[in-house]
């Protein structure tokens, strides 16, 4: 049995770099863990803090690999939930030049490129010259240790490969000059954006500043439409874990996660890293996998998580598939969609811009525009909002004409009856009078199936 070592390693995502990983060490034998991580190309950035920043964006995978080895040595390892999410995340390289490779094979190729980069960075591989070969960087260099061989390098970042070897630097340089004489330049090529980002992520930084921040105030209970946005990415992950009929995929470059129902007729897009009021969710339904869209719905980045939870729950229950192609949007459908608002005392008004339902505190509303309902694909026939108005909202959901009334009624019921939480802002008193409202049902934590590992 491996004896326990008094060392604790906490692995978390990097505070600024999108894919790098940070290790925080503690314990009387933390130096043991530090040496193990440094041997795996982690960089010391502060006392008891090491960083893993790679040019292939595979840091979560290799952090998980490091955690396995540290645990086997008797070192206690903690992985934060957000890093665990990144470890499980599925993504692919768009336009990869080796599309025939599996995900594991692509990782092997990029790991070899990482080793070449590390050898150059640590001075083990001396680059004599580089050149531009029709938009691709090529270089020639010599290993100062190991084999002492000279090599011809092709590509940059995660695609750099050893494309040829030579017995001496002279032989390598002659061959390189023969092919690239016009474009040949001395020394290594300028750093790429990816290389600069990796170096910046590994730079020494002050980890004490975060400790001086005051603890956040206790949240207050508010109507659900006034709640904080919460963690949309975690919400989607819980939904996918609980509903295996949806398949998830995401590319590295487009910053979007796609969740597609097994029938191929319901598709959910989650756009990450959006700014305030930008569209962060798109839901679209189709009659068949190859037909035109029946209806679609969008939600902005500040939409409260409980509202999105209600939307996803109704979609998973099959509400959203009961629309009729070509059926007019009539008074009965509008009444069904808004009945929960009427029962909760929301104010009903008619204007030249449509029909409005406004919450008693006038901080949220639902709007139906009968003119746009004549255009099947118009996304703003229905607008659900919170803020100063539908055109000055803090968040909004829009829906096209044939969005099912049962789905809209479910959202209306959530708005009218549920509550959420938000952080108390300086100078704002908690609204204790609202705590008697019916709270939203808590979301159960669900473990991710092993079939969705990276």
Closest CA to 162 of 152, 175, 172: 152
Q: Say which residue the tokens 């070192």 belong to.
A: 75
Q: What is the CA radius of gyration of the chain?
A: 28
Distance, CA of 40 to CA of 382 (rounded, Å): 54
pLDDT in tens, 201-223: 887 655 544 444 455 566 889 99
Chain centroid offset of residue 126 CA: 37
Sort strands 185-186 and 161-166 into parallel, antiparallel or unpaired. Answer: unpaired
Q: In 360-404, which ranges are continuous DSSP H helix?
A: none
Q: Could you tell me if 133 and 181 are in contact, meaning their C-beta atoms sit under 8 angstroms apart?
A: no
User: Minimum mean pLDDT among 133-147, 247-261, 302-316, 434-448: which range?
Assistant: 434-448
Three-state secondary structure call for residue 7:
coil
- Rounded to the nearest integer, the mean pLDDT of the chain is 83
Distance, CA of 37 to CA of 70 (rounded, Å): 9
Statement: residue 331 has pLDDT above 80: yes
Statement: residue 322 has pLDDT above 80: no
Statement: residue 1 has pLDDT above 60: no
pLDDT given for residue 104 in this prediction: 85
Distance, CA of 364 to CA of 126 (rounded, Å): 64
Q: In 127-214, which ranges are continuous DSSP H helix?
A: 169-180, 193-201
Distance, CA of 13 to CA of 378 (rounded, Å): 40
Statement: residue 449 has pLDDT above 50: no
Domain residue extents for the chain: 8-88, 103-199, 220-436
Distance, CA of 431 to CA of 429 (rounded, Å): 6
pLDDT in tens, 224-276: 999 999 899 999 989 998 999 998 887 655 688 889 999 889 999 998 888 77
The CB-based long-range contact list for 368-376 (8 Å cut-off, 24+ gap) reads 368/334, 368/337, 368/338, 370/329, 372/401, 373/329, 373/401, 374/401, 375/401, 376/400, 376/401, 376/402
Mean pLDDT in residue range 40-48:
90
Mean pLDDT in residue range 195-204:
84
Q: In 181-275, which ranges are continuous DSSP H helix?
A: 193-201, 232-242
Q: Could you tell me if 258 and 342 are in contact, meaning their C-beta atoms sit under 8 angstroms apart?
A: no
User: Which of 101-110, 123-132, 387-396 shows the highest mean pLDDT?
Assistant: 123-132
Distance, CA of 54 to CA of 199 (rounded, Å): 9
Q: Pull the structure tokens for residue 247.
A: 């398949």
Question: DSSP class of residue 363?
Answer: S
Those residues whose C-beta lies under 8 Å from the C-beta of residue 109, and which sit 6 or more positions away, are 98, 101, 158, 159, 161
The CB-based long-range contact list for 28-33 (8 Å cut-off, 24+ gap) reads 29/5, 31/7, 32/5, 32/7, 32/73, 32/75, 33/5, 33/7, 33/9, 33/70, 33/75
pLDDT given for residue 424 in this prediction: 65
Give strand ranges (E) for 81-218: 125-133, 136-143, 150-154, 161-166, 185-186
pLDDT given for residue 126 in this prediction: 93
| Cβ count within 10 A of residue 385 | 23
Distance, CA of 453 to CA of 59 (rounded, Å): 15
User: Minimum mean pLDDT among 209-223, 253-267, 352-366, 438-452: which range?
Assistant: 438-452
Statement: residue 440 has pLDDT above 50: no
pLDDT bucket at 391, cuts 50 / 70 / 90: confident
Distance, CA of 141 to CA of 127 (rounded, Å): 4
pLDDT in tens, 154-192: 999 999 999 999 999 999 999 999 999 989 999 999 999
Distance, CA of 155 to CA of 163 (rounded, Å): 10
Distance, CA of 255 to CA of 251 (rounded, Å): 7
Mean pLDDT in residue range 336-348:
93
Three-state secondary structure call for residue 340:
helix
pLDDT given for residue 204 in this prediction: 63
Statement: residue 319 has pLDDT above 60: no
């Amino acid at each position: 049995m491996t004896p326990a070592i008094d060392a604790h390693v906490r692995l978390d995502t990097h505070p600024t770099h999108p894919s790098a990983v940070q290790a925080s060490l503690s314990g009387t034998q933390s130096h043991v863990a530090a040496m193990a991580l440094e041997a795996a190309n982690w960089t010391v950035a502060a006392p008891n803090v090491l960083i893993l920043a790679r040019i292939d964006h595979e840091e979560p995978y290799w952090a998980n690999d490091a955690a396995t080895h540290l645990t086997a040595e008797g070192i206690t390892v903690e992985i934060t939930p957000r890093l665990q999410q990144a470890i499980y995340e599925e993504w692919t390289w768009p336009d990869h030049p080796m599309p025939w490779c599996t995900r594991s094979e692509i990782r092997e190729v990029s790991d070899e490129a990482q080793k070449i980069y590390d050898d150059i960075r640590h001075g083990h591989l001396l680059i004599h010259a580089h050149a531009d070969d029709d938009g691709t960087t090529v270089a020639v260099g010599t290993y100062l240790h190991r084999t002492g061989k000279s090599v011809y390098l092709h590509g940059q970042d995660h695609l750099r490969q050893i494309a040829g070897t030579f017995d001496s630097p002279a032989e390598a340089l002659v061959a390189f000059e023969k092919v690239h004489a016009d474009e040949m330049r001395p020394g290594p090529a300028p750093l790429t954006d990816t290389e600069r980002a990796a170096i910046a992520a590994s730079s020494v930084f002050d980890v004490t500043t975060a400790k001086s921040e005051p603890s956040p105030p206790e949240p207050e209970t508010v109507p659900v439409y006034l709640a904080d946005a919460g963690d949309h990415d975690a919400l989607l992950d819980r939904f996918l874990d609980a509903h295996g009929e949806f398949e998830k995929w995401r590319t590295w470059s487009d910053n979007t996660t796609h969740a597609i129902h097994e029938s191929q007729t319901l598709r959910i897009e989650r756009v990450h890293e959006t700014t305030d009021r930008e569209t962060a969710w798109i839901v679209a339904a189709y009659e068949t996998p190859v037909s035109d869209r029946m209806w679609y719905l969008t939600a902005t980045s500040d939409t409260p998580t409980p509202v999105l939870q209600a939307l996803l729950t109704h979609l998973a229950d099959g509400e959203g598939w009961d629309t009729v192609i070509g059926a007019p949007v009539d008074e009965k459908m509008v009444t069904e969609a808004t009945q929960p608002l009427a029962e909760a005392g929301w104010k009903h008004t008619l204007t030249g811009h449509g029909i409005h339902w406004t919450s008693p505190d006038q901080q949220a509303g639902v709007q139906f525009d009968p003119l746009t309902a004549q255009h099947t694909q118009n996304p703003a026939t229905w607008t659900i909002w919170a803020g100063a108005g539908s055109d000055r909202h803090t968040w909004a959901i829009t829906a096209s004409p044939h969005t099912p009334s049962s789905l809209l009624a479910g959202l209306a019921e959530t708005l009218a009856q549920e509550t959420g939480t938000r952080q108390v802002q300086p100078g704002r008193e908690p609204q204790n009078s609202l705590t008697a409202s019916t709270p939203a049902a808590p979301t159960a934590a669900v473990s991710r199936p092993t079939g969705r590992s990276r």
